[in-house]
Each structure stands twice: as C-alpha cells, then as structure tokens.
C-alpha cells in the first residue's frame, strides 16, 4: 500500500508541474512584445531581475538582520534561544514521564532507554477489589535482567516493589542512575530496606495522560520550570497562586506554616531547596488523591505491597478477629516509611507536618479530629483502601516524605 501511495503522489506531482508549465507557455504566446525604450527596458529588467534574485536577496537580508541582531545583543538572543529550547525539552520530558534524560547524567551509555507508556483508566477501575487477608500472594522475582535479558544468578539486584531484576552494569550503561544511586542499590537491594527500580521509584508514571496534562497546566499557570529546584519562598508563592486559582483566596497564616512544614519534610537533608523529583512526586500524589478513588489506588499496588500490608495488619490484629483500631491503622501507615528513617521518633516528627498541598485544613485541626476516633474499628478491606496512598508514597528511594501520615 505504501508503494502505491508513493506512485500516486509522484503522478500527481508530475501532473501539477505539467499544468504549470503549460500555463506559463500559453501566457508567453499571448503576451504582446511591443518595442520599448532603453530606459524602460532597464526599468522592466530591474523588476524580473529583482524577482529572480529574491531568494538570494532574502537570504542575504535575513543573514544581515541576524548579524545585526547578534551585533546588537548577541548574548541576550543566544541565551533566549537556548533557554527556550531547554524549557521545551524539559516540558517534553515531563510529559513523557522520564524526569531526567540519560544524556543529562554526564555518563556515556550504550543501551537504549526504555519507552515509558502511561496507564489508562479501565471501566471497572473504581470497583472494589477482593484481596484476601490470609492468602499470601506469590510474587517471585524475574530470573533474568530486565535490561539485557540475561541470567547471572547472584549478580542480579531485585526491585522491592515489582518483580524486575537488574544488573548494576546494565543500569550504568542505561544511564538512569548516577554512581551514588548505584551504590545505594548495591547496599540496600538485598536487605529488608530494599530498593525501588526506576519504574517504581517514579510516582509520576502512575498518572494517565489526562492527569499529567492537568498537572502540567497547573505548573505552567504557576510558572514552575520543570527540572528546577524550589526554595521555600518559591514553594510558598506556588501554593499562594494555586490557592488563588482553585479557591479564589490566599493562604492563611496557618496554611503558610503547613507549607513550610511540607518544605521541611521534602528537604530532610536541610539543603535549603526541594529536588525537582521530590516536588514532582509530591504533586503527582496530590493528583492521585484528587482524581482517583481508594479502590482505584488499591489496583495500583503490586503483590509485594499487598503482602507487606498483610504482614503489618496481621501483626496488629493480635486477637485475630480481622479488625484493628483506627490508632493501629495510623501506626501501620507510619511503618511504610521506616525504611527511610533509622530513628522512629524523628520519623513521627517529620511526617506529622506533611500533607497534600491542596488541603485547606491546618495540621492541628486534623490531629484533633483524629484523636476522637482512635478506637474506631477498621477492617482489612478498609485498611487496605485507606493505606494504598501511603504505600504508593513510600515507593521512592528518596528520604523525603511525600505525604502526611495522620497522628
């Protein structure tokens, strides 16, 4: 079919050229050629000469204009073009969910990076999911490397979320992990802490095309530049703008304190800024909480995450009646983040101030309200639905806290 279409296009092109040539010849025959003075011939000659030289003259003019612009302010025009190109590439990477291109990691790589495909919502996405409490799911790791598809036994490193396995050399050649991240993988992949692969570590990949478009529009309206770090003032400005857009009102003093608490939780190493990936993951969770039901988020959990939730629930259900209290449920939700904190007390302090940026209620009111229902019974099904967002938030390898755990 492709060849037939190509021949058809060639035939049409030849027919058009023949028609133009015929019209031109007919015009030449019909045009009178009266004698003209020399001056007029010169003047008329100037016309055709000018028209025939138009492309060259145009190119010369453009080159001259460009040279003039460069001479006027070369650094400004060049920097503006470079900045525009960088921003376009950043938005493209953000849409594709890649975050940072392998080329940006200053590492020569030979393997082709994978193509990320965003998920689509199914018709039964919001329907309840039957997950048995006492039946542990089998989730054996793959036997071959996800990159090179070669088996080498102990040289493979597993992901703690999915079943994929990787060679450290393949990840190095792929270009997605820096040296410090590769060392972290080697140190934690075979421990209880575990390591999340580049699929599971990127929470932004959980968003559909529509959800990602909504998030990108918010970033553009708030003048957020992709792949840039945010200081506290920029985060406050972003939250003020978002509140004005969504609720047509400014943040209160209590809400500003909450945002600063969120900043501290996303900057656990006290660098003075939030890494782009942590900010993106935080906002991705905000989108999930806004557009997805609890049943929909349960469907995002892997077998390993569901088994983890089972173990925690059974450990809290000492009387084995299939019910725990609301206070025990919050204790379990905090346990998802133990892998990132050696000191449990510091973990409780840091995550107590973390919450979705879109929430308008202050942390104090949430904590007061939560104290009134500490004894409320929570079944296994409710526990899994309420904990799904926290299990997802615990996926990244980052030590930042991307979501609030209620007190």
The answer as to whether 67 is a domain residue is no
Instruction: Tokens for 294, please give them.
Output: 């609890």
Of 201, 231, 251, which one is at a domain's C-terminal end? 201
Domain of 107? 101-120+132-201
The answer as to whether 333 is a domain residue is yes
Q: Say whether both 274 and 358 belong to one domain.
A: yes
In the chain (407 residues long), the average pLDDT of successive 10-residue segments reads 47 59 57 51 44 48 49 57 62 56 46 76 92 91 89 84 92 82 91 91 93 89 87 90 83 90 91 93 93 95 95 91 91 72 35 34 42 82 94 93 74
Count other Cβ atoms within 10 Å, centred on residue 379. Answer: 14
Characterize the bridge pairing of strands 377-379 and 165-167. unpaired
Q: Say whether both 192 and 218 belong to one domain.
A: no
The answer as to whether 167 is a domain residue is yes
Q: Say whether both 288 and 242 belong to one domain.
A: yes
Q: Say whether both 226 and 261 belong to one domain.
A: yes
Q: Say whether both 335 and 264 belong to one domain.
A: yes
| Strands of 43-164, DSSP E | 156-158
Q: Say whether both 251 and 305 belong to one domain.
A: yes
pLDDT at 242: 83
Into how many domains does the chain fold? 2
CA distance 335 to 271: 25
pLDDT at 395: 94
Q: Say whether both 141 and 211 belong to one domain.
A: no
Of 201, 233, 261, which one is at a domain's C-terminal end? 201
Q: Say whether both 266 and 355 belong to one domain.
A: yes
Q: Say whether both 159 and 253 belong to one domain.
A: no
pLDDT at 270: 92
CA distance 332 to 334: 5
Q: Say whether both 346 and 291 belong to one domain.
A: yes
pLDDT at 178: 80
Count other Cβ atoms within 10 Å, centred on residue 317. Answer: 17
CA distance 228 to 242: 18
pLDDT at 365: 39
The answer as to whether 315 is a domain residue is yes
User: What is the domain-level CATH number for residue 162?
Assistant: 3.30.40.10
The answer as to whether 24 is a domain residue is no
Q: Say whether both 254 and 377 belong to one domain.
A: yes
| Residue 216 near residue 129 (C-beta atoms within 8 A) | no
pLDDT at 360: 34
**What are the angstrom distances between the C-alpha of 4 and each of 11, 14, 339?**
11, 16, 61
Q: Say whether both 276 and 301 belong to one domain.
A: yes
The answer as to whether 35 is a domain residue is no
The answer as to whether 146 is a domain residue is yes
| Residue 269 near residue 399 (C-beta atoms within 8 A) | yes
Of 167, 182, 201, which one is at a domain's C-terminal end? 201
pLDDT at 389: 94
The answer as to whether 23 is a domain residue is no
């Amino acid at each position: 079919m492709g060849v037939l279409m190509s021949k058809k296009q060639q035939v049409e092109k030849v027919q058009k050229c023949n028609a133009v040539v015929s019209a031109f010849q007919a015009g030449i025959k019909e045009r009178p050629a009266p004698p003209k003075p020399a001056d007029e011939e010169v003047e008329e000659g100037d016309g055709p000469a000018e028209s025939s030289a138009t492309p060259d003259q145009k190119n010369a003019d453009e080159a001259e204009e460009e040279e003039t612009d460069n001479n006027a302010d070369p650094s400004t025009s060049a920097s503006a073009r470079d900045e525009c190109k960088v921003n376009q590439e950043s938005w493209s990477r953000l849409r594709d969910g890649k975050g940072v291109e392998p080329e940006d990691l200053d590492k020569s790589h030979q393997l082709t990076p994978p193509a990320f495909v965003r998920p689509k919502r199914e018709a039964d996405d919001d329907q309840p999911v039957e997950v048995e409490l006492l039946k542990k799911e089998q989730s054996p790791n793959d036997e071959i490397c996800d990159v090179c598809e070669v088996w080498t036994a102990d040289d493979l490193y597993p992901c703690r979320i999915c079943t994929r396995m990787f060679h450290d050399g393949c990840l190095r050649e792929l270009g997605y992990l820096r040296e410090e991240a590769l060392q972290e993988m080697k140190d934690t992949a075979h421990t209880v802490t575990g390591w999340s692969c580049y699929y599971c570590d990127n929470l932004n990949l959980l968003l559909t095309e529509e959800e990602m478009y909504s998030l990108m529009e918010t970033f553009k309206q708030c003048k957020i530049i992709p792949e840039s770090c945010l200081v506290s003032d920029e985060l406050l400005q972003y939250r003020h703008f978002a509140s004005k857009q969504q609720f047509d009102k400014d943040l209160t003093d209590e809400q500003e304190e909450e945002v600063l608490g969120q900043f501290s939780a996303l900057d656990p190493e006290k660098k003075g800024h939030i890494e782009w990936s942590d900010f993106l993951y935080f906002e991705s969770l905000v989108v999930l909480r806004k557009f997805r039901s609890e049943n929909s988020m349960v469907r995002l959990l892997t077998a390993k995450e569901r088994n983890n939730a089972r173990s925690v629930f059974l450990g809290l259900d000492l009387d084995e009646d299939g019910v725990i209290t609301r206070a025990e449920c919050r204790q379990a939700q905090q346990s998802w983040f133990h892998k990132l904190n050696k000191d449990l007390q510091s973990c409780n302090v840091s995550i107590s101030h973390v919450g979705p940026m879109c929430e308008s209620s202050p942390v104090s009111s949430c904590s007061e309200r939560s104290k009134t229902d500490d004894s409320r019974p929570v079944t296994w099904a409710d526990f899994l639905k309420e904990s799904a967002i926290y299990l997802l938030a615990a996926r990244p390898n980052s030590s930042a806290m991307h979501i609030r755990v209620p007190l």
